[in-house]
């Protein structure tokens, strides 16, 4: 098995069919497996999964029988794997996105793993291009292009990969190139990752926090040594979902990001890559200050004090603009700096 595609699912009946249909063309490849992890959905997502498996397997009777067995055993994840050729359907009680992905990892067999959020969709030709490559080139991480998708229109995502700054480059040069981006490329779904690396370095997603992709990506960049890149528009990241966690600022989202920054601030990074990793952290630190000024959020003094303390990360970054923000925070505090950042949004 060369590639495992992990799709965590939770209450996405409006978007799931489009996601699954976008994956379908690659399932004719016997070296690809699709792992659908239903994280306790309460809408029609499960039925959509079974209808999809019916379509792929051309064996509705088998699917119906397995569905009945799954329904009777939902409390025991290990007994309700729905296996049709190279598709696994797993139901588990709701534990969150991180644990759904972790379940997918633990049940994967591919040399590589790719994650797809079930409200988004892909251009699977890019994955087919990946599978056609020589096994001699086995990087730890393969970067993929993504665009924002909103009701039929697409827009720039802020990540402009340049092949010459990734292909055949050292880890230091790759991270240096990534620091040119306007935003930290910290999503899990725009990368193909070697499964051996995930298992060896215990790169599972942390449970119970928001922005888990950022925490995971920092550990991934620290652990990985070789990188590659695939051209082509691969991932369509859906915008405008009212119930989307990533599109909503809450007290938990602020506390989660603060926790991630504090956790990484205590890590010992290798000296040759430290400034680049701190640039990624500095970007997220400024995002934290930005969202702390949201009208519906009232941050207490403790959160503001912890955020103020983390300003030292800006000085460890390799970006001059981040270092220049350090004295502003020192003089005016996190509240005023956050408002300044909001006023000049898009230029930092």
Run of H or E including 232: strand 227-238
Q: What's residue 62's pLDDT?
A: 47
Say yes or no to pLDDT of 343 above 90: no
Say yes or no to pLDDT of 304 above 80: yes
- Quick one: pLDDT band at residue 245, thresholds 50, 70, 90? low
Measure the CA–CA gap between 47 and 51, rounded to whole angstroms. 6
Find where tokens 């989307």 sit. Answer: 244
Q: What's residue 116's pLDDT?
A: 98
What 3-state class would DSSP assign to 156?
coil
The average pLDDT across 60-81 equals 46
Say yes or no to pLDDT of 89 above 90: yes
Say yes or no to pLDDT of 265 above 50: yes
Q: What's residue 61's pLDDT?
A: 45
69-73, 154-158, 181-185, 209-213 — which is least confidently predicted?
Answer: 69-73
Run of H or E including 6: strand 3-9
Q: What's residue 75's pLDDT?
A: 42
Residue 185 is given by DSSP the state -
- Quick one: pLDDT band at residue 69, thresholds 50, 70, 90? low
Alpha helices in the chain (DSSP H): 16-23, 45-57, 60-71, 97-106, 125-131, 171-178, 195-200, 212-223, 251-265, 271-291, 301-309, 312-316, 320-343
Measure the CA–CA gap between 89 and 38, rounded to whole angstroms. 8
Measure the CA–CA gap between 143 and 192, rounded to whole angstroms. 7
63-77, 82-96, 153-167, 185-199 — which is least confidently predicted?
Answer: 63-77
Q: What's residue 9's pLDDT?
A: 98
125 close to 17: Cβ distance less than 8 angstroms: no
Other residues' Cβ atoms within 10 Å of the Cβ of residue 249:
15
45-54, 101-110, 296-305 — which is least confidently predicted?
Answer: 296-305
Question: Can you state the percent helix, strand and coil of the chain, rounding each to 5?
Answer: 45, 15, 35
Q: What's residue 216's pLDDT?
A: 98
Who has greater pLDDT, 129 or 84?
129
């Amino acid at each position: 098995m060369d590639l495992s595609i992990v799709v965590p699912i939770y209450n996405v009946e409006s978007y799931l069919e489009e996601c699954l249909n976008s994956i379908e063309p690659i399932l004719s490849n016997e070296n690809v497996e699709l792992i659908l992890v239903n994280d306790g959905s309460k809408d029609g997502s499960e039925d959509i999964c079974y209808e999809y498996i019916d379509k792929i397997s051309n064996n509705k009777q088998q699917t119906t029988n397995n569905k009945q067995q799954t329904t009777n055993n939902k409390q025991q994840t290990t007994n309700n794997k729905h296996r049709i050729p190279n598709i696994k359907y797993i139901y588990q009680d709701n534990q969150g996105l991180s644990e759904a992905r972790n379940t997918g990892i633990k049940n994967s067999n591919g040399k590589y793993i790719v994650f797809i959020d079930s409200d988004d969709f892909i251009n699977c030709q890019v994955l087919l291009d990946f599978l056609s490559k020589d096994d001699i080139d086995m990087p730890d991480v393969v970067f993929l292009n993504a665009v924002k998708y909103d009701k039929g229109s697409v827009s720039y995502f802020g990540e402009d990969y340049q092949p010459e700054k990734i292909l055949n480059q050292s880890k230091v040069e790759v991270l240096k190139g990534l620091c040119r981006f306007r935003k930290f490329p910290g999503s899990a779904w725009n990368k193909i990752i070697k499964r051996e690396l995930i298992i060896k370095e215990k790169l599972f997603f942390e449970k119970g926090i928001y922005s888990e992709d950022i925490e995971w990506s920092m550990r991934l960049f620290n652990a990985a040594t070789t990188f590659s890149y695939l051209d082509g528009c691969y991932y369509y990241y859906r915008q405008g979902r009212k119930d989307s966690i990533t599109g909503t600022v809450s007290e938990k989202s602020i506390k989660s990001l603060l926790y991630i920054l504090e956790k990484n601030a205590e890590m010992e990074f290798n000296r040759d890559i430290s400034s680049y990793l701190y640039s990624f952290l500095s970007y997220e630190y400024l995002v934290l200050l930005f969202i702390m000024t949201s009208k519906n959020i009232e941050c207490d003094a403790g959160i503001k004090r912890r955020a103020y303390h983390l300003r030292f990360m800006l000085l460890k970054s390799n970006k001059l603009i981040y270092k220049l923000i350090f004295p502003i925070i020192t003089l005016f505090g996190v509240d005023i700096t956050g408002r300044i950042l909001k006023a000049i949004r898009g230029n930092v």
